[in-house]
A and B are shown apart, each in its own frame.
Chain A
Amino acid sequence: MIDHWNLITGGITLAFSLKNILVLILGTVIGIIVGVLPGIGPTAGMALLLPLTFGWPPATALILMGAIFFSSNFGGSITSILINAPGDASNSATMMDGYPMTENGRGNEALGISATSVIVGGGIGVILLVFSAPLIAMFALRFGPAENTLIAVFALSIIAALVVGSPFKGLISAGMGLFLATVGYDGVSGNIRFSFGIPYFEDEIQLIPVVVGLFAVSQVITLGEGGGTIAKVGKLAGSLIEGMKTYFYHPVTVLRSLVVGIFVGALPAAGRVTASFMAYADAVRSSKNPESFGKGNPEGVIAPETANNSCAMGDLIPTLALGIPGSTAAAVFLGIMIMHGVVPGPRAFVDNGQVLYALLTSLVLVTLVVFAFGISCSKYFAKISLLSNEIIVPYILIFSLVGAFAIRNSFADVLLTCFFGLLGYIMNRLGYNPVPMILGLVLGEMAEKNFRRALIISEGSYEIFYTSWIAKILLAMSILSVIYPYLKLALHKLGSGKRKIESPS
């Protein structure tokens, strides 16, 4: 029988050694920087620093990587909130209300919310990770290919219908994203699809050029048209402390987003993007003023940021407990763990308990460092929104295009970014929200793989998609989320009709 208490105390002592604390601070600062730079993100950040860790003790190496993995999210939220350009795809949902808050002069407050969500979402997330990893991993194992496909369908339908407000336009946007995910090399059969003989399209379409194009490049044009500054009010009214207070004024949203984040994180391959969008959709659905979302509602920042931060911890549940990464970044983290001799799986906490508890302790400390950084430095970042567009617009363009170029040093990625910039601009003008398209592209590969696996299992019968009780619930919720706006309209008309009958004058 292993003495878990000894492993825990040993891990905590290891995490608090001077060297590991310094590495943790370094990793956190690097993580925030790579999060701010579009196109770099946690995956590239960890990959870039991996050679540095060869020869390091496993705990120190994993603490550095864990700090980058977790803190990059806050860096990404800074650019999402201030310049409407997500550092990482997982920050896309934050833009929907974070940027309007900046436009309303409340950029500081939004950054305060984001910093607080790091400590709450991440802190609670890591505590839950320690206690719930085995239980959640067991439940996640009940999800077969059909259920995983339906998770993607549900995520897309809820985003398309509830967040966007127009189910048809939202679903068309999602369809475009899902189709983009099918372009290029088919990982299951090895065929090349929809490349039209162009070698560039034989590889899959990268997420970053699409995200950066749809949101950042289109923003360059929108800002260029308007002139002036991002913040329309001329001064920053909100404060970081106000952001903290705002955060705690919405405990229900925080709790719901925590649950969404942890649960989605625990599902293999669902990832932070899904969690943040699902939490956002949940916040819209449960709000008394759903129409205020997209116009700078603080709950629109609280929900995705809390889910995102807790999901980062949730991501580690299948990674540590099953060896199945919850996201691309978690997959890189998994590889680094194995490289340093820490093999994940049911015996991970038995064989490398001290290293893993040191990692988990460090992740709690990372939340504190990110929070301290956020509170002390964010106000300087928020002043970005008061800079004139002559300064800020070229910066957005430069970081967007350099970020797109940095993925593979390919100029074609830059041209693709510009194409999606134009598409994003047109879609925004015509009322097509590009967010479902992003989610479609993110979930496309996972949805297709599971869709095909499910059909193989069922020998081509579609019954598999509504046989299990989990599948039935997911299917029902997907249908309900699409028809919900029409039901709401019908009820509204019924209500106003009744009022007219009651007061005919």
Chain B
Amino acid sequence: MNKRGLFRYWDLLRKGDVLFLLAIFLIFLFFLKESFNYPHESRSFPEVIILSTLILSGILLVVYFFFPSLKNTIVSPEPDGEREAQREWKTRGRFYRGWLSIAISILTAFLFGFLFLIPASFISYTLLLGRKGMFLKILLLSLATTLLVYIVFDRFLGIPTMRGYLWTQ
């Protein structure tokens, strides 16, 4: 169904590509305003970059909103046969669970030290996204890896892997 007027713009705003471009445009507009606070010699180069990015993202936004028929030619100027579709978004559940696993791992590292990131990431990933039948194998592997990382990073390279917010060695 061909929507017209404001409804079409509303639909466009719900598209990830347009939202991303709009975000870039607004953020760079903010950076441009911020650059006015700096002396001329410090802001000349960033301003060239910011203005170029604003112009490029602005052109794309104009094309998306007002000249949709030109979108394919401007955005990906490939002959039709060579044009590749954007990658499909996979199931949202696995996406959120993936980030939850990363968040758990980072929180553990922050609280207890980097060494604890290893069992946390193995266990959280297996429980949230993996096969539960592999849990014991994964647990053993995570312990062996923890020991190896401790020897290489902490003992050999001197990186403090056991220093966290709650607990310092």
Contact = CB atoms under 8 A, between A and B. Distances in A.
Interface of A: 40, 48, 165-169, 171-172, 175-176, 178-179, 182, 186, 188-189, 191, 193-194, 196, 217, 220-221, 224-227, 291, 388-391, 393-395, 397-398, 401-402, 405-406, 409, 411, 414-415, 418, 421-422, 426-432, 447-448, 451-452, 455, 485-486, 488-489, 492-493
A428 B95 CA distance: 14
Given A225-B91, A409-B159, A182 B46 contact: yes
Interface residues of B, number: 71
Given A431-B17, A452-B45, A397 B102 contact: yes
Nearest to A447: B45
Contacts of B87: 428-429, 431
Nearest to A489: B77
A452 B52 CA distance: 17
Q: Across chains A and B, which 4 residue pairs bring their CB atoms closest together, nearest first?
A: A175-B53, A224-B98, A390-B130, A225-B90
Contacts of B160: 409
B138 interface: yes
Contacts of A411: 109-110
Most buried by B among A167, A402, A447: A402
Contact of B38 (A179, A193, A415, A489): A193
Nearest to B134: A390
A414 B50 CA distance: 27
A398 B121 contact: yes
Interface in B101-131: 101-102, 105-106, 109-110, 114, 117-118, 121-122, 125-126, 129-131
B121 A221 contact: no
Contact of B41 (A217, A395, A406, A452): A452
Interface of B: 16-17, 20-21, 24, 28, 31, 34-35, 38-39, 41-46, 48-50, 52-53, 56-57, 59-60, 73-79, 82, 86-87, 89-91, 94-95, 97-99, 101-102, 105-106, 109-110, 114, 117-118, 121-122, 125-126, 129-131, 134, 138, 141-142, 145, 149, 153, 157, 159-161
B91 A179 contact: no
A455 B75 CA distance: 33
Most buried by B among A182, A224, A394, A451: A394
Nearest to A389: B130
15 contacts: A176-B24, A179-B46, A179-B50, A224-B95, A388-B130, A388-B134, A390-B130, A390-B134, A390-B138, A391-B141, A395-B145, A398-B118, A422-B99, A447-B45, A489-B79
Contacts of B53: 171-172, 175-176, 179
Given A191-B39, A401-B105, 15 more contacts: A166-B77, A168-B75, A175-B49, A182-B46, A186-B42, A194-B31, A220-B102, A225-B98, A389-B129, A394-B122, A401-B117, A421-B102, A427-B20, A451-B44, A455-B44
Contacts of B145: 395, 398
Nearest to A164: B76
Most buried by A among B38, B49, B126: B49
A193 B42 contact: yes
